[in-house]
Amino acid sequence: SMLFGLAISMYLQQKVVNFTKELNPEKRGSVYDMNFGKKWFASFDEAEKFITYKSSHTAMKVTSSTCLGLWLFCLIGMISFDFGVLPLIMVWIIWFVQTCTYCLKAIYYGKHPSEVMK
């Protein structure tokens, strides 16, 4: 059933992308292409890129706050209800990967400003 759900999701994404390409002929890419994200993003104008950057930053902040809340919940659960340490570690790993990725990319783009708009 998971594979069926993935197939339906990909089919619907393809329909949305094709409809968007009909409305905006400058858009490029196919959902079946392994480099779809890069090709689609390359067809963005400056306003679309700025919207993507702003929404990505907001998503990063919300995810970080959510991970903090989940981490505290798991910590309290571990102490009070004997959840065990595994949920705490799993939330911490997701939070750590997200924060490290953000920091490393910020450092990289600080050193390579020409790469930011690619």
Which of 49, 44, 50 minimizes the C-alpha distance to 20? 44
Distance of CA 8 to the CA centre of its chain: 21
**pLDDT (0 to 100) of residue 55:** 92
CA distance 33 to 21: 15
- Residue the block writes with tokens 């981490």: 71
**pLDDT (0 to 100) of residue 42:** 87
Residues of the chain with pLDDT under 50: none
**pLDDT (0 to 100) of residue 33:** 84
Side-chain-side CA neighbours of residue 64 (13 Å):
14
CA distance 78 to 103: 29
**pLDDT (0 to 100) of residue 96:** 94
**pLDDT (0 to 100) of residue 115:** 82
Coil vs helix vs strand at 31: coil
